[in-house]
Chains A and B, each alone.
Chain A
Amino acid sequence: MTDSIAERVRRIATGIFQVPLDRVLIQSSPETIETWDSLQHLNLVLELEQVFGVRFSPDEMAQMVTVEAIVGILERMGLPEADSGS
């Protein structure tokens, strides 16, 4: 099973936006996912914070406009390897 940050973010997004996994692509954004409104954006942020054990700054939250951007921010946070048993 692929378990990259990108994959985990996509899975989380499907849960929040209630759309199938194949509809959430790396370039997905509020323009391509209808349920990605401001409340669900906040829920996505909160879910990511809980799952990855991080806290995003207001600037980062504002930049999280595509799946790719979210993955970039998480990668820059220097998370431990996904399978390290966290």
Chain B
Amino acid sequence: MNTRAIETQDSLRRDIDLAVSRGDASLALTLLGKFWREYPGPATASYLLASFEELRPVWNPRVFRLIVLRSFTVEPVISLLQASAAVNGIDLRVEIGGFNAYAQELLDPHSSIYETAPDGVVLAVQTRDVVPQLWSEFADLSPAAIAQTVEEVLRSYRGWIETFRSRSRAHLIVHTLEIPEMPSQGILDAQVREGQCESIRSINRGLLQIAQETEGVYVLDYDALVARFGRGVWHDEGKWLSVRLPITAHCLVHLAHEWLRYICPLAGKSCKVLVVDLDNTLWGGVAGEDGFEGIQIGPDYPGAAYQAVQRAMLDLYHRGVVLAVCSKNNPAEAMEILARHPGMLLKPQQFAALRINWNDKARNLREIAAELNVGVEALAFLDDNPVERQWVRSQVPEVSVIELPKDPMDYARALREACVFETLKLSAEDRERGKYYEEQRQRQDLKRSSSSLEDFYSSLQMEAEIGEVKPETIARIGQLTQKTNQFNLTTRRYTEQQIKAMSLDPTCRLYALRARDRFGDNGLVGLAITRQRRDEVEIDTFLMSCRVIGRTLETALLAVIADDAHNAGARRLSGWFVPTPKNAPAREFYSRHGFTRTGENKQGSRWDLDLEHRTIQSPPWIRVRICIKEAIS
């Protein structure tokens, strides 16, 4: 670091201190993010954490409580992790397990992981600690002993994980075991089935198996992480031997970042939509100057860098991320390229919303969010122009702005590294989401051409299938409670384990609504949970995905619940409306359906429907199919 670098750092610090002292949260958060990206390290981390502490009155992060169980020194990673979590809007509270005490801590029912109920637990154990026989003593083992060792290690892991799952609801992130840089048999190791690396890999395959069989358990491929940066570079033998820290100084932040990739989706910090610029982001050059022939996009240099960006975007599209365009171009020129340029990997119909105009991008982003029925915090923004990025950060601080490096060949990597798109589960709905939005655009067109709302509803030919929770839909149902913000009456978030427990509780009923229409299958988009107490059925949860808001499907679902409650002998159907900053679309739900307001507290209002004298009419334009056994009887 030279004098100029120190001066830049000092002036950035002065700007941050000023913004913090003025309580200007959005500027301070922007600058703190920039500071972290440019100078990640222990000193920056402690400075950042102190600044975030001062910002607390105006800073509104998600809280996530993490416990790290470990077999090596992780302390210096923690402040790096907390700083980078804070930059991503997460207030991370971390507790570290005893050195090499992970097994006791997992098995002891009174250990702090069970007494403090954290949100997540990381099990960071190294090969050399958990199975030294396969690390330094490998050459001493017979093939039979190797197989036995692998089996024993997996049995221990299974015991720890099953015990953990039976006692805790927290998410568990399990590190895989790394393979050695230099196998004990040299190149012979790659020639034999029972080689050292292969044995360790078979443990890792076993860990994946255990994780797949156990809910809320995820694998972090530590071996791949180490390999990504280079085994020789990653490892610091001197610090390992002296302070039990096996990781080189400049690699610590990579481990912190890897942990954060898991914490972001678990803490609900994820974006649903990626909004991209066009010129010099999706292709090289400027459409208005270089023209259709002159822009760079194709399989060779330099257009290949932009194809790599498009490939990364397509990967996100298949992961359920919705794509949109926000760019300053002449619409005709840009659309011509999007639709017809042979180098384009993305097709116009894969973009759910397009804002190609000369308007302010902050305004365009707000419009895109409104058009897609999501909050602005669901948007991530990709633009090569640092001025636009800064503008968006300052005007719509809720949007996640992805920082791009100078060289376009590094763009795709930057996009792939963005934590905001990470997901630990992929439902069928996620995979098909892009198609849903395409169909949604067709519905909008139909709505414009319909003479009345009823006419539009009828022409949609809607079908609602209302059924119980099935093992294959639990993940999606949990996700609906976690992610639905707008049409959600109580906004109660449930984990998959809680959903499962409720589905087994005889006083509870779960109604999952799947919607179809002439344009396609919307998938599982509605959920209601009710509880019966004597002659009253209370609606615990009632929500509709933003994908189907405004199509009267909620009335069809409510009608089924009311019928069902009446058939079960209830005289009253009740429910709460708990207002949040986002659920205004659901505010009038109970009053519109003839419920009377019967109570109120700090959280919200209570509404009742007298089932003996009132029923709910299902809309005639929706064909309802009920797939619940008891309801038919």
Interface residues of A (CB under 8 A from B): 1, 3, 8, 11-12, 15-16, 18, 39, 42-47, 49-51, 55-58, 61-62, 82-86
Q: Could you say which of A3, A43, A58 contacts B6, with CB atoms under 8 Å apart?
A: A3
Give the docked Cα–Cα distance between A62 and B243 (Å).
Answer: 11
Looking at the complex, which one of B2, B42, B239 makes contact with A43 (CB distance below 8 Å)? B42
A46 touches which one: B2, B42, B47 (CB < 8 A)?
B42
Q: Which of B50, B238, B245 contacts A57 (CB 8 A)?
A: B238
- Whether the pair B249, A50 counts as a contact (CB closer than 8 A) is yes
**Contact A46/B6 with A51-B1, A51-B41 known, Cβ cut-off 8 Å:** no
A-side contacts of B46, CB under 8 Å:
15-16, 18, 43
In angstroms, Cα B46 to Cα A43, docked, is: 10
A16: B residues at CB distance < 8 A: 42-43, 46
Interface check B252, CB cutoff 8 A: yes
A82 and B3 contact, CB distance less than 8 A: yes
Whether B258 is near chain A, meaning CB under 8 Å from some CB there, is no
Query: Are A83 and B248 within 8 A (Cβ)?
Result: no
- Taking the complex as formed, is B451 at the interface, i.e. its CB lies under 8 A from any CB of chain A? no
Given A18-B46, A61-B242, answer yes or no on A85-B2 (Cβ-Cβ < 8 Å): yes
Q: What are 13 pairs between A and B in contact, CB < 8 Å? A: A3-B6, A18-B46, A42-B245, A43-B79, A46-B76, A46-B249, A47-B41, A47-B42, A50-B250, A57-B238, A58-B242, A61-B239, A82-B3
A53 (CB) vs chain B CBs: closest residue: B250
Q: Tell me the complex Cα distance, A86–B248, Å.
A: 20
| 3 closest residue pairs by CB, A with B | A15-B43, A58-B242, A49-B249
CB neighbors of A among B1-16 (8 A): 1-3, 6-7
In whole angstroms, what is the CA distance A56 to B550 when docked? 64
What total of chain B residues lie within 8 Å of the partner, measured CB to CB?
A: 27
Task: Compute the total of residue contacts between A and B using a CB distance below 8 Å.
Answer: 73
Chain B residues whose CB sits within 8 angstroms of the CB of A44 once the complex forms: 42
Q: Is B241 a contact partner of A49 (Cβ separation < 8 A)? A: no
Binary per-residue interface labels of chain B (34-72) against chain A in the complex, 1 for a CB within 8 Å, 0 otherwise: 000000011110110010000000000000000000000
B75 at the interface (CB under 8 A from A): yes
B369 vs chain A, min Cβ distance (A): 39
| Cross-chain contact A42 with B2 (CB below 8 angstroms) | no
Contact A55 B42 (CB under 8 A): no
Q: Are A49 and B238 in touch, CB under 8 angstroms? A: no
- In the complex, which residues of chain A have a beta carbon less than 8 angstroms from the beta carbon of B1? 8, 51, 86
B250 / chain A contacts, CB cutoff of 8 Å? 49-50
Chain B: minimal CB distance from A20 (Å): 13
Residue of A12, A42, A44 contacting most chain B CB atoms (<10 Å): A42
Residues on A with beta carbons closer than 8 Å to the beta carbon of B242: 58, 61-62
Per the bound structure, the CA–CA distance linking A45 and B1 in Å amounts to 16
Q: How far is the CB of A54 from chain B (nearest CB, A)?
A: 9
**B238 engages A58 (CB within 8 Å):** yes
Q: Does B377 contact A (CB under 8 A)?
A: no
The answer to whether A11 touches B42 (Cβ under 8 A) is no
CB distance from B367 to the nearest CB of A (A): 43
The chain A residue with its CB closest to the CB of B50 is A18
10 additional A-B pairs beyond A15-B44, A42-B243, A46-B41, beta carbons within 8 Å, are A8-B1, A18-B46, A18-B50, A42-B73, A43-B43, A46-B42, A49-B249, A50-B249, A57-B238, A82-B2
Q: Given known contacts A42-B76, A42-B243, A55-B248, is B41 in contact with A50 (CB within 8 Å)?
A: yes
